[in-house]
Structure 1
Amino acid sequence: MKKIILLAFLSTLSISTFAQDEAPKEENKEPDYTQNVQTIDNIVRTLYDVISGDPGEERNWDLFKFLFYKDAKLIASGKNQMREAMVSYMNPGDYIKNSGKWMVEHGFHEREIHRTSNTFGNMSQVFSTYEAYKNKEDEEPFMRGINSIQLYNDGKRWWIINIYWANESRRTPIPRTYLPKQKS
């Protein structure tokens, strides 16, 4: 009797094992973002695209973090309450924590309007002039400035090492050199 029970148990076990082997396997696959970082154009375009969205539109923060090299910094420059020049250093996680909720609540679209780049070997410095809008359809920006983006290529892809930015003000307008050429 014990042999019959054991045989029944083993045959049930082998059938369920066989059924598990034949069942389609669901893969927990991470999205492949490698195309977003193969060229300087792609990584800069992705940077602007991933932070942009209308009110209520969630951002892909996993893609955002994928753009940055370990220990990368985002550096905002501006004035404090006493009108003194200052900078604020953040890592990508700090940026998401400080700005992510506001961007979703209020809407934020940053568009590149001009770029100058200098590349030597595996490093590149991009001066990217931007305009910021709350909605995609807005005609007038509520803010303009320049992102200074330092990039590193490890032989496989481009990484953002730092982004250091300054917003335009009445006292510091964007120089013509960093604006689109006027059509004649």
Structure 2
Amino acid sequence: MKYIALFSLLFVVSFLPAQSDAPAPDTEKYAEDVASLDNILEALYASISGEKGEARDWDRFHYLFTEEARLIPTGKNKEGEVGYRIMSPQEYVEGSGKWLEENGFFEVEIFREVAEYGSLVHVFSTYESYRSKNDEAPFMRGINSIQLLNDGNRWWVMHIYWLGETEALPLPAKYLPEN
């Protein structure tokens, strides 16, 4: 009986939200960003986008993610081997934030495919990247595989796993907007 009670307690505790020592973000300021699937995806792209020299709202960016979220770029290295890197949202900011601000970067969703089952949501989001809003052609395209959670109160980004388009691996027509 003691083991059943212990198992039950561990089961219930495993579904409680993780606690953090970090100060609580301004939930009212970003509440609209996490109110719908469309809003959280728009906020995700907007939070990393901006003109050269324009500071990003990294508090907004962090607010979109669960504490354990991971960002995972993948692709071939110079030797032609497929690899990946796993980062927390903070590690992404530390590794890419300065570059995004110094060079200008806009990522725009051009196509979306959504699969949903209860609180589990997966989005295949095709993107184009620009250095400025005024650029006519993207310098990069790819697909973000985004896993999200809707806990009944708000939306959360769990993971983003992405692959950029290459000459050897063009984007399939089924993941592009119809002309």
| TM-score after normalising by structure 2 | 0.84
Q: How does 1:11-30 map to 2 (within 5 A)?
A: 30=26
State yes or no: 1:138 paired with 2:132.
no
Residue matched to 1:4: none
SS at match of 1:53: coil
Correspondence 1:127 to 2:124 = yes
| Unmatched segments (≥5 aa) in structure 1 | 1-28
- Equivalent residue of 1:89, what SS? coil
1:32 CA drift (Å): 2.1
Matched, 1:58 2:26: no
Unaligned 5+ segments in structure 2 are: 1-24
Residue deviations 1:20-54, cap 9 Å, x none? Answer: xxxxxxxxx93521110011100000000110001
The offset of 1:59, in angstroms, is: 0.2
The 5-angstrom pairing of residues 63-142 of structure 1 reads: 63-142=60-139
SS at structure 1 position matched to 2:54: coil
Which 4+ residue blocks in structure 1 deviate beyond 4 angstroms? none
The alignment status of 1:155 with 2:148, answered yes or no, reads: no
Instruction: Give the match for residue 167 of structure 1.
Output: 164
SS at match of 1:90: coil
Measure how far apart 1:81 and its partner are: 2.7
Shift, 1:176, TM fit: 0.5
Task: Provide Cα deviations, 1:84-142, integer angstroms capped at 9, x if missing partner.
Answer: 00010000000000000000110000000000101110110000000000011000100
Deviation at residue 153 of structure 1 after TM alignment: 1.0
2:35 aligned partner? 38
Seq. identity, %: 49
AA matched with 1:159: W
Quick one: distance in 2 between partners of 1:106 and 1:83?
27
CA distance in 2, matches of 1:153, 1:116: 17
Local SS of the residue matching 2:128: strand
Tell me the C-alpha RMSD between the 2 structures: 1.1
Q: How many residues align?
A: 154
**Residue type of the partner of 1:90?**
M
SS in 1 for 2:85: strand
